[in-house]
Amino acid sequence: MNISAALESCPVVPLVQADDAGVAVNVSQALAAGGLTVAEVVLRTDRALDCLRAVADEVPDMIAGAGTVLTAGQARQAIDHGAKFVVSPGLDDAVVATCQEAGVPIYPGVYTPSEIQHAVNLGLDVVKFFPASIAGGVQALKAFAGVFRTMRFMPTGGISPDNLAEYLAIPAVLACGGSWLTPADAIAAGEFETITRLAEEALSAAADARGQ
Ligand code: 3PG
């Protein structure tokens, strides 16, 4: 499966954080109903791997990856639970190697030019830029894009409807990630239509930003 191709047409990656597989499925279905096709199930709860497995099995319209993957062991577990891609907050050689050996795309977090250069030398062509708003935002990305000409970026951290278009207007940005599409209060209240509406709005803003 070519995740990069999916992200070209749907360049918004919502975070799904849940401690219950049924909730993770409901959230993912709501996102898919709003047109989003790629989501990151974050390993931040005790039952996150079950959530990942449930989304991978029960939401065929969603390409589910694992986020917040910190160790090679977690990367292996995430892949075993159906992750189609892996995202890390930082750049770790063992996590990258585990994913590369399994043939699963890995998008590690980077913050500095040295980390991006290291990612280039690990054979990567997509990295997460995290936390984007603190690491220099749009201005930093433009500077990095001029130097690391083969690299595509997935800025995450501080992305919102207010700045999404600005990030997506940069050609080196493959997609933007974030939690604004899956508000915890809407999930707690079972207001999944709110998530669908946020997904639709993000997709529409993305299409405008990309001139589609
Ligand atoms: C991440 O894990 O990528 C960030 O926590 C998302 O940041 P956000 O909550 O600002 O979108």
Q: What is the pLDDT of residue 212?
A: 67
Tell me whether residue 211 is in a domain.
no
Q: Helices 137-147 and 113-121: crossing angle, nearest 10°?
A: 40
Distance (Å, rounded) from C-alpha 145 to C-alpha 35? 28
Tell me whether residue 208 is in a domain.
no
Q: Which residues of 127-161 are buried (b: 16+ CB within 10 A; e: fewer)?
A: bbbbbbbebebbebbeebbeebeebbbbbbbbbee
How far does the centroid of ligand 1 lie from the alpha carbon of residue 35, in Å? Answer: 21
How far does the centroid of ligand 1 lie from the alpha carbon of residue 14, in Å? Answer: 9
Query: Which residue type sits at 202?
Result: A
CATH of the domain at 13: 3.20.20.70
Tell me whether residue 113 is in a domain.
yes
**What lines the ligand 1 site, CB under 6 Å?**
15, 67, 130, 156-159, 177-180
Tell me whether residue 105 is in a domain.
yes
Tell me whether residue 202 is in a domain.
no
Q: Which residues of the chain have pLDDT under 50?
A: none
Q: Counting Cβ atoms within 10 Å, is residue 81 exposed (0-12), middle (13-18) or buried (19+)?
A: buried
- Quick check: 66 and 95 in contact, CB under 8 A? no
Tell me whether residue 205 is in a domain.
no
Residue nearest to atom 8 of ligand 1 (CA): 157
Domain that holds residue 73: 3-197
Q: What is the pLDDT of residue 211?
A: 80
pTM of the shown model: 0.96
| Count of structural domains within the chain | 1
Tell me whether residue 74 is in a domain.
yes
Tell me whether residue 83 is in a domain.
yes
What token pair was written down for 14? Answer: 């919502």
How far does the centroid of ligand 1 lie from the alpha carbon of residue 192, in Å? Answer: 20
